[in-house]
Amino acid sequence: MKNIVIIKTGIDPKPILDQVYDNYNDWDWVSSLNPNRVGGDKDPYGFLPLVWAKVGRGDNPKNIDKQQETPLYSHYSEVRKFLKENHINATGRAAFFRLKPGDSVNMHIDEGTYYLQKDRYHLSLQSRYQYYVGDETMIVEPGTFFWFNNKIKHGAINIGDVDRISLVFDVPHNINNPHHEIQCAEGF
């Protein structure tokens, strides 16, 4: 596959999941910022931001490269440990996403200037999901760390019987990012 690159499988998701469950009220943080606005693309079900766009009034987050850690970031030392162990020294935006059993993320492209120089990664923590990128598809098991091309249509469906929880994060594009090493080994 050229639009999905599996970096590692069999990662133990328990240390990160334990912190997610120890801080379960963090899932309500975004809606607490504006209790009159719940739902939609700025507060979807299951969005727990760790690093997000630093926007001013009228800014479109899709076109902003500035970012800031949220107050929640400090709760997740195991995420920082995972990044360090995988030689990821700089990240862009990072968040946990939750998806109910049977629910899907519709096919879409991550558009905007922010994404042009970023590589997008997932670390699957809970449940199984089917992931689509262009004409490629795979079943993602918990403990799978992968890159995908978010500049083409992609989407997911939770085929498990519990909420899917994934850590999704961006890394500034660099030839030393984890998926490049694998692609070179496979001849891409």
pTM, 2 dp: 0.91
The pLDDT, as a whole number, for residue 77 is: 98
Mean pLDDT of 167-188: 76
Provide the pLDDT for residue 174.
86
Write down the pLDDT at residue 54: 93
Cβ pair 148, 130 in contact under 8 A: no
Q: Is the pLDDT of residue 182 over 70?
A: no
89 falls in which pLDDT band (50, 70, 90)? Answer: confident
What span, in angstroms and rounded, lies between the C-alpha atoms of 122 and 168? 5
- How many independent structural domains does the chain possess? 1
Q: Higher pLDDT residue, 175 or 65?
A: 65
Is residue 169 predicted with pLDDT exceeding 50? yes
CATH number assigned to the domain comprising residue 8:
2.60.120.330
Q: 10 Å Cβ neighbour count for 7?
A: 18
Comparison of pLDDT for 183 and 79, the residue scoring more: 79
Give the DSSP letter string of 132-171: EETTEEEEEPTT-EEEE-TTS-EEEEE-SSS-EEEEEEEE
pLDDT of residue 39: 47
Other Cβ atoms within 10 Å of 159 Cβ, number: 15
Residue that has been written with the tokens 């935006």 in this structure? 93
Tell me the β-bridge partners of 130: 139, 157
Structural domain for 124, as ranges? 4-55+62-185
Q: Look at 78 and 57; give whichever has higher pLDDT.
A: 78
